[in-house]
Amino acid sequence: MDTIDSFGFEQVARWLADGQVIPFLGAGASRVGVDSDPLPDGHGLASELRERMAPYPGDKADDLAKVAQYYEEWAWDRPALYEFLHERFHKGQVNAAPARVARMLASIPAVTTPRFIVTTNYDNHVEDAFALARRPLCVVIQNMRDPEHGPARLKLVYPDGTKGFAQAKTFRLQHPKLPAGTTFLFKMHGSAHQAPGSDRDDVIITENDYVDFLINTGGPVSPLFPPAAFLARFRSSRFLFLGYSLADWNFRAFLRLLVLQNAISRTDQLRHLSIQLRPDALEAKLWQKRNVKVYDGDLVSFCDRLAKAWAPEETS
The per-residue pLDDT for 222 is: 59
Over residues 267-283, the mean pLDDT reads 82
Segments in the chain forming alpha helices (H): 9-18, 42-53, 64-70, 78-89, 100-106, 125-132, 207-216, 228-234, 249-260, 281-288, 299-308
Task: Give residue 1's pLDDT.
Answer: 75
Cα gap 286→233, rounded to integer Å: 24
Q: Which residue has the higher pLDDT, 1 or 183?
A: 183
The region of weakest confidence among 69-78, 98-107, 162-171, 283-292 is 283-292
Q: Domain for residue 62, yes or no?
A: yes
The secondary structure of the chain in percent helix, strand, coil, rounded to multiples of 5, reads 40, 15, 45
In a domain, 83, yes or no: yes
pLDDT value at residue 315: 45
Domain carrying residue 111: 9-241
Asked if residue 98 belongs to a domain, the reply is: yes
pLDDT band at 314 (very low <50, low <70, confident <90, very high): very low
Q: Residue 316: its pLDDT value, please?
A: 47
Average pLDDT, stretch 184-207? 89
Beta bridge partners of 165: 155
Residue 109 lies in a domain: yes
Count the domains in the chain. Answer: 1
- The residue among 109 and 35 whose pLDDT is bigger is 109
pTM above the 0.75 mark?
yes
* In the predicted structure, residue 47 carries a pLDDT above the cut 90: yes
Q: Does the residue 216 lie in any domain? A: yes
Is 113 within the bounds of a domain?
yes
Q: Which residues contact 48 (CB under 8 A, 6 or more apart)?
A: 40, 88
| Domain presence at residue 188 | yes
Burial of 220 from C-beta contacts in 10 A (0-12 / 13-18 / 19+): exposed
Rounded distance, CA 219 to CA 222, Å?
Answer: 6
Q: Where is average pLDDT lowest: 194-198, 260-264, 279-283, 286-290?
A: 260-264
Residue 218 domain-assigned (yes or no): yes
